[in-house]
Amino acid sequence: MNGPEWLFPLPLEEGRARATALFAETFATEPRGVWSAQGRVNLIGEHTDYNGGTCLPLALPHRTFVALRPRPDALVRAVSAQRPGEVWRTSLGEVTPGRVDGWGAYVAGVAWALARKGLRMTGFDVAVVSAVPTGAGLASSAALECAVALGLDESLDLGLASDDAGRARLAAACVRAENEIVGAPTGGMDQAVSLRSRPGHALLLDTRDGSVRHVPLELADRDAALLVIDTRATHALVDGQYGLRRATCEAAARVLGVGTLREAELETALATLAAHGDLEIDLGADGTTTVSADVARRRVRHVVTEVARVDAVVGALAEGDLARVGALLDEGHRSLRDDYEVSCRELDLACETATGAGALGARMTGGGFGGSAVALVPADRVEDVARAVTEAFAAAGLTAPAFLRAG
C-alpha cells in the first residue's frame, strides 16, 4: 500500500505564473495582474457563523490564484485550470438570483454584489488556478470569491482592500454572492478568514457584529501541528441539508424569542422547545417541512455548547494547554456527529483513527456531510497519524484520504 498522499500549496510565484499563462493562452492578451486568496480550516466553532456566534478559523497556506483583466463591456469570461478548454460566459446584466448556473456563478456573483454596493463595475476576463481542494470543506469557493474580489478592487480602483474595514466590505460582498447568486446559505466565516486573517494566528470572528481578534497559535513553539485530513467524501452545501439546519436554527430562535441562538440560555431553550413541540420550517422555494422538538433541541444544544467551546479553546491556547484544546476538539466532533448530525462514516473514522494514533484531539471541520477533519497532533507524530488514517481507510474499503499541513 502507498503511503499518505500530501497536498502541498503552490509557491506564490508559481501560482502567479500558472494563472498568467492560462490567461494569455485563453484570451490572447496579458492580464492586468494576478491576485490570490487562501482557503481555510476551522479549528472550532462549526455552524455558529449563521447563528450570531463566534468561530476560530485560520487560513491555509493553500491559495486560489486569479489572473484578471477588466473589459470595456459587460461580458464576463472565466476559465479554470481544473476545466481545461472550457470558457464560462455571461453578461453582468444577466446576473440575478436564481439565473446563473455553473462554477462561474462564484466569479460573476462577486461583481454583482459589489455593484449592489454602488461600486463601479465592468465586465472582465479571469483565469483561475487553485491549490485549495474542492469539495473538501476547506472554503475553496470562498477563496475563489475573495481572489476575484481583490482583483476587481485593485484593477478598478475601488480602494477597499487597503484596510480591515474595506476588506470586511469585500468579504460581505462575497458572502452575498454565495448566498444569493450561487444559492448556498452559508455564513460569513470563510470569507472573513480569507481576507482578514494574519499569518501564525487564528481569527476569532464574532459574527454578531463582524469584529475580529487575532489569536496567536504558536503551535510550532509547543511541538505541535494541525493536520488536515481530506476524507475525499465529497460534500456540497446546496443539496438542502445545510439549508435545513440553518432554517431549523432560525425557527428555534423565533420560538425562543431571541434574534439568534447566540443569545439563548441552554437549559431554558431546551425546556421551551420541549414544551413548544414540533417546528414548522420554512425552506423558501423548497416549501415547508416539520422538524420534531427533539431534533430542534439537539440542533440548539450543539450551537450553544459550540459557542462555549470557542471561548474555551481561546483560553486554552492562551495558557498553552494543548491537551485541553484536543479534548475540546473531540467534544466538538461528538456534538456535530450526534446533535447536529452532519458527520459521516469517513469523518468519524478519520477522527477516531487520528486520536488512536496519537493526536491530542480531532474533529470534522467545515459544513459537514463529507469534507475534511482537523487533528491537533504532536509534531513528531504527524506522519504516524497520517499513515494510520490511510491504512484505516484502506482496510474499510474507502477512497484514500489526502493530507494538508496547517498552522
The per-residue pLDDT for 287 is 86
HSE toward the beta carbon, residue 269, CA cutoff 13 A: 25
Report how far Cα 308 is from the mean position of its chain's Cα atoms: 20
Burial 361-375 (b: 16+ CB within 10 A, else e): bbbbbbbbbbbbbbb
Report how far Cα 133 is from the mean position of its chain's Cα atoms: 11
CATH number for domain 220-406, candidates 3.40.1440.10, 3.30.70.890, 3.40.47.10, 1.10.357.10: 3.30.70.890
The per-residue pLDDT for 239 is 60
The per-residue pLDDT for 299 is 98
The pTM score is 0.93
- Check: CATH 3.90.190.20 for 5-216? no
Say which DSSP state 134 is in. Answer: T
Task: Indicate the burial class of 205 (C-beta count within 10 angstroms; 0-12, 13-18, 19 or more).
Answer: buried
Residue tagged active-site, from 49, 153, 190, 339: 190
What residues does each domain of the chain span? Answer: 5-216, 220-406
Q: Which residues pair with 87 in a beta bridge?
A: 79
Side chain identity at residue 167, one-letter code: R
Q: How far, in Å, CA of 400 to CA of 148, rounded?
A: 32
Q: How far, in Å, CA of 318 to CA of 299, rounded?
A: 29
Q: How far, in Å, CA of 154 to CA of 128, rounded?
A: 17
Mean pLDDT, the chain cut into blocks of 10 residues (407 residues total): 92 98 98 98 96 97 98 98 94 94 96 96 98 92 98 97 96 96 89 96 95 95 97 72 92 97 98 96 87 97 98 98 98 98 96 98 93 97 98 97 92
Q: How far, in Å, CA of 261 to CA of 249, rounded?
A: 7
Query: Is 220-406 the same fold as 5-216?
Result: no
Q: How far apart are the first and last CA of the chain?
A: 28
Can you read off the three cell numbers belonging to residue 87?
470558457
125 is catalytic: no
The per-residue pLDDT for 187 is 83
The strand ranges marked E within 219-291 are: 224-233, 279-282, 288-291
The per-residue pLDDT for 407 is 66
